[in-house]
Structure 1
Amino acid sequence: MQTVTRHYNRLEQGTPSPCQTALRVIKPILQALCQMIILIAALLFLLDSGAKNMDYQWQWQRVSDYIAFYEEGRWWPAELLQGLTVTIKLSILSLVATMAIGLITALLRSSSSLVGRLLAFSYITLIRNTPLLVQVYVLYFILGPMLGLERFTTAVVALALFQGAYTAEVIRSGLNAIPKGQFEAAQALGMSKPYVYWDVILPQMLRRTLPALTNEAVSLVKNSSIVSVMAIFDLTTEARNIVAETAMPFEIWFTVAALYLCLTLTLSGVAAWLEHRFTLKHN
């Protein structure tokens, strides 16, 4: 009787019941799932219709052989998985170098040194106004041999230099958004300039710019496919070789797209988790 009375009072007061609250949360999720199912079904229908018009025979059963195979009592990575490993390694090293280049360039642009600001401005202008593919060719055919760089190292440098220019502008905007009074107050307390940046300025900048930095990281992962022109056996290169051998362009490239999607979604998920942690810590 008391439960019924509380439920009646809740309705009288306009407070939603637990069932109504759960329905309010689940309803948009179900709507999104239905929309995705309809979209995927329509896409599959169009692909199947197009393949039939081309007399194309799907061979999805062969794709797994190029991901991993079982031999001598254990699983071995096949071409696509090996290429994915190279892509992940390339992306991680390039991302670390990108953040370092972006931070240094942003600090130079915000410094009082005329030479530092000029160097940073020239670097950003040059990189942002030339295509990535041209930069890769210049590094691979000219600067790489002159400096004695290996192909993989050249690829890391090319990606880091390209993405670092865009990351520098993101970091600089985050630094400019922090009131100068905080820097002056920290120095008034006797903190050294490096310690002020490390303990006061950079944490706030990272919290403000994390979504934009995530976009740059995702772009870097996608741009890593361009270094396949340097004969690096990354995911894209391995896929191109498999297509040339098997004549399965649709199956292989759809699989490669799904693998890249998994990488970028994982990266976005980690960034969302970090943003949530920063928000909780700030609150």
Structure 2
Amino acid sequence: MSPVSRGRKKDNKQNGREPSPEAEVVEEIGPDHPAVREMLDNVVATLGEFERVDDPVDGEYLAASLLAVGYGTGEEATEVFAQLFVAEAEEFGQPGALAFLRCVAALTPEPIRSLATEAADRLVAAGVSAPSWVGELGEPTTAGEYFRWSEGDGVGAVLYGSFHRAGRTDGFLLFVDEEDCGSVNDLAPFVSEEALAEARRMTNEEEPVPEAPIPAGEFRWRVEAALGVRESHDREVIELGIEPSQPEEDDIPYEVTDVVLRARLRALPMPAKPLPAHVHPA
């Protein structure tokens, strides 16, 4: 058992993903349908919380708790939900909404990034002011350190990665389980340099092999492959109408961390080799 799930340093009181309509249903019934309206009301209720945040990483995890609603339903569904949230935030038009939109722009790829940025710019032009921490979201994210601990051929590995932005450091520790098709089995976010250092120290103490540095691009390749397998597995469960399992000790739901980790990975170079195809063993 890897030590990834130990040493949590961050508490997050968001409930994570709630069961949600499929993208085509949302497009068909529109934002005024009771089920969709309930989801959007939850977004509005959360927007005020961004004004009480004082750290940009905390703001990103708060935004990710909303964006994660589409986890496991496919890329198109995720975009539909994000578009609805961006439109709802712009209509709300308060400082918390502006902070949310800047977080969305930092966390998402195109086309949602541009939609969120344009909506945020319109609020600024209308005189809405963002909390002071929001400015850091526009600073570049740069690579930190990346390590791998092998747990044996065919078993898996622990991966560690850190990222820097505006003088702050955050990162992740995860276990890639080769006995489960190479899926992410444990995923722990750490939102401060001190917490990351402690996680690395504990892993070095508890793993049977020493840490091995790996290039940033290799870290991205390995992690994106493992995240893809995990989401494929979870999608199969979701399609059966079952919530994916979540260890009780997790402070931040897996699908919320997935949103932030994928955003961080986009700051790293991607090797030319394609991601491996996910094939279930016979």
Fold-level similarity (TM above 0.5)? no
**Greater C-alpha Rg:** 1
TM-score (norm 2): 0.26
* Structure with the larger strand share: 2
